[in-house]
Homo-oligomer: A and B are copies of this chain.
Amino acid sequence: MRVFWQKGFEATSLDDLTGAMGLSRSSFYGTFDSKQTLFLRALEHYSRNGLRNLKEVADTAEGDAVAAMMQALSDPNGGPRGCLLVNCITELAPHDERVAAIGRRHLESIEELFARAIDPDNPDAVRDRASAYSSLAIGTLALRKAGVPADRIDRTLQQARSVLSP
């Protein structure tokens, strides 16, 4: 998962994978069906993990939970290259429906977490606002990858939040 995260699917070679896992090629193919299969499993794993972490951020945030979630999404500290699933959506979803489906499910879960954070009693009513928050956080990932300074991105998020808040 970590290798795919760093390099993307196409740019990751079998040698990269076996090297990172300490496996020989034969063991690799004895354990996994193919690079594709491993990749899809890595995506599922990433999604589960990411959603669990985000939920924890939302639950343990002191003060504004939405702000904490946006910060976590927009600045994946430790994550080597933004959000793995967003990268994959951009790279592969238009040509691979399985990837698109995993990505769709992941994004919808994020929106739901936002909606619950905004209004725990009536999350359905704030669904569109939740969607706006998550789209905004995802958008800033592109800025970050392009090398826009972190403080400018933070100001953007802060500005958006202060206006989007109820």
Contact = CB atoms under 8 A, between A and B. Distances in A.
Given A10-B10, A148-B107, A164-B163, A156 B142 contact: no
A61 interface: no
A137 to B, nearest CB: 7
B91 A146 contact: no
Interface residues of A, number: 44
A87 to B, nearest CB: 6
B93 A146 contact: yes
Please state the number of chain copies in the assembly.
2
Interface string A137-160: 111101101111000100111111
A136 B90 CA distance: 16
A146 B89 contact: yes
A104 B155 CA distance: 17
A145 B10 contact: no
A21 interface: no
Given A159-B128, A160-B164, A142 B100 contact: no
